[in-house]
Amino acid sequence: MLRWKSQHCHPEHLPDDSSLQPDSPSITYLQKIRIETAKKQLEGCTRSIDAIGVDVGYFDPSHFRQLFKRRTGVTPSKYRKKFQIVW
């Protein structure tokens, strides 16, 4: 159940654990979906970056920030600043 909630998909759509290696296509796909979801949240809400990371399935804030930067080229905080309205 926790695995399903943390990955935001139904258990029937998850590969078996034997195929979940760090660089497997399944992990890469899940990372892409998680980071895209995090980007949308960073663009449109003021929740903390750590809370957004947990929401998309990363319970270690430093791992979330590192992976976000690796996949997008910027940190979550810099990404968020692109979408802030300056009054």
CATH of the domain at 35: 1.10.10.60
* CA–CA dist 82, 52 (Å, integer): 17
pLDDT-based confidence at residue 66 (cuts at 50, 70, 90): very high
pLDDT-based confidence at residue 27 (cuts at 50, 70, 90): confident
Report pTM.
0.69
Domain containing 35 equals 2-81
What's the domain count of the chain?
1
- DSSP for 44-60, written as a single string: H----HHHHHHHTT--S
Residue 61 lies in a domain: yes
The reported pLDDT for the residue numbered 52 is 96
Residue 35 lies in a domain: yes
∠ CA 64-38-24, nearest 5°, is 60
Nearest to 72 by CA among 42, 27, 46: 42
Residue 86 lies in a domain: no
**Lowest-pLDDT range of 8-22, 26-40, 71-85:** 8-22
Residue 87 lies in a domain: no
